[in-house]
Amino acid sequence: VPEHLFSLIPQLEKSQESSQLQWLPAVLEAAVEVVVQKVLQIKQLTPAGVVQLCVDLDYLRKVPEALGNSGETSAEKSTGAAARLRELLETLEFLGAQLQRKRESAAQGA
């Protein structure tokens, strides 16, 4: 998904008309919502899986910054998605740290 969104940059740079940029926040919001819902369906992750998922989600989080906001309206519209994604990332990073501590404790006890 992020790669496809980044592929839109050249098209957006060709025309900076605000009417053509109005749909971007809705696309970003929908993309983030789908990704968040799919992540919430994951039942089990390895520590390496948590790290990779965090990297992928952080990449998705940076898409709106790379595409640029088309004014305050875009920023306001994408705030919900950005907040959910940021919250999910923080949770995953916390869980990843907990998994790592658990592994280290198990290794020391063995």
Question: pLDDT tens for residues 45-58?
Answer: 888 999 999 999 99
The candidate with the shortest Cα–Cα distance to 57, out of 107, 95, 24, 8, is: 95
Residue with the two structure tokens 């990843």: 96
Query: Could you count the other beta carbons within 10 Å of the beta carbon of residue 99?
Result: 17
Candidate from 3-7, 10-14, 72-76 with smallest mean pLDDT: 72-76
Beta strands in the chain (DSSP E): none
3-state secondary structure of 103: helix
pTM, rounded to two decimals: 0.67
pLDDT tens, 12-71? 555 555 565 677 778 888 888 899 999 999 999 888 999 999 999 998 888 777 766 544
